[in-house]
Chain A
Amino acid sequence: MSDPRDRPEDPLQPSPDAPATEDELAQSAKLREALDDPGRPNDDAELARAMSSAWSPRDLSAEAHRTLVDKALLHHDARRRRNRVIRASFGASAVLALAAAVLLYVRSDRQPPETVHGTAMAISRSTQALFQDPFAPSGGESARIDRIAMARAADLRDNQFAKWGVR
């Protein structure tokens, strides 16, 4: 097996003994700063810290702790805002349903007592059913009111009897 150092140098590969380029110097400075300040995002620094912690775990510095807590709270706040929106949607739906129900109750006709002494009461309703045929083009109004008044007089009599409990 030959020593790699004995191989001829590849003109395309930089020499390991060559001085650091400007780019390499800048990257090393960034890494140094990221290692000093855990708040700075840097993948190489994260990897270095993880390897160091795996080899000799130690307590987090106060600054690193603060950074982690801030990050976690940032996510928590976002979730809390989302939850608030969902809860507000449900609340609005519930309020809408309640308002519609109140509207229904307020606008509903006066509800009659369905029964008195166990007897159904005659309620106000359309008189349409009293008439079998369309009205004549002219006349017939008095006959119609006669019929309506007689029908409702019978209803009123029934309701009175129901109230007195004699039916």
Chain B
Amino acid sequence: MKLGWLILAVAVSGASVALAGCRGEGSTTGCPSAEPAGPPVDEALMAFLSAARALHHEADVRQSANDTAGAIASLERLVALPAPTAVEVDEVIADARARLAELRLGRGDVDGADRDVLAGLQRVKGPTYFRGHLLEVEGLLEEARAGALADAGKSDEATRARAKAVDLLEEAVKVQERVIDRALAEGGKDGDR
């Protein structure tokens, strides 16, 4: 009888802790539902997405006029927008961070680009194209850093940067492969919206 109660108590504790941990990881692996439940799509989310869309297009216009600084300013406004807590917001901001990083890299601001990539990676922890893309940009960034170091005659540091670039690009490929595998397993649901 006592043993039964003990097993029950341990089972309840274990299940509760596992569920709490599962939700806290930011990854849905091993959780009861692969699709985390979120709030209903509402006006606040839509307003953020509309503003983000406008600012991306504004950046396009400025970029096409060779105004890289203006494009960066538009995207900086985007990542600073007030936003509701939603997965879509995280993914859109992560994508904007990747674009910002590329623009900064084009201007030689490697450290600034690095900051954007790291901030973007904080937003998307699970295996998505957004994370894969950020890792890819970070890999390109390290490649550029390696080139600059080699030009400066710092061959050891350049070698390390090259190795890091390869690691990051490999990690990006792995993330993308996981996304593709999952998409194939799920049959591409929601893809026709």
B-contacting residues of A (Cβ < 8 Å)? 86, 89-90, 93-94, 96-97, 100-101, 103-104, 107-113, 121-132, 134-135, 137-138, 141-142, 144-146, 148-156, 159
Contact = CB atoms under 8 A, between A and B. Distances in A.
B39 A110 contact: yes
B185 to A, nearest CB: 12
B122 interface: no
A141 B95 contact: yes
Given A126-B91, A159-B42, A97 B16 contact: yes
Contacts of B98: 141
B36 interface: yes
Contacts of A93: 6, 9-10, 12-13
Contacts of B24: 107
Interface residues of B, number: 62
26 contacts: A90-B5, A90-B6, A93-B10, A93-B13, A96-B16, A100-B13, A109-B39, A110-B38, A112-B37, A124-B88, A128-B183, A135-B129, A137-B140, A141-B95, A142-B53, A142-B57, A142-B59, A145-B56, A146-B53, A148-B92, A149-B46, A152-B45, A152-B49, A155-B193, A156-B41, A156-B43
Contacts of A153: 46, 49
B41 A113 contact: no
- Is chain B's binding surface mostly helix, strand, loop or mixed? helix
Nearest to B86: A124
A134 B178 CA distance: 11
B143 to A, nearest CB: 11
B22 to A, nearest CB: 9
Contacts of B12: 93, 97
B56 A141 contact: yes
A112 B36 CA distance: 11
Contacts of A113: 40
Contact of B20 (A103, A135, A159): A103
A130 B189 CA distance: 9
A20 to B, nearest CB: 56
B188 interface: yes
Contacts of B151: none
B155 interface: no
A90 B5 CA distance: 8
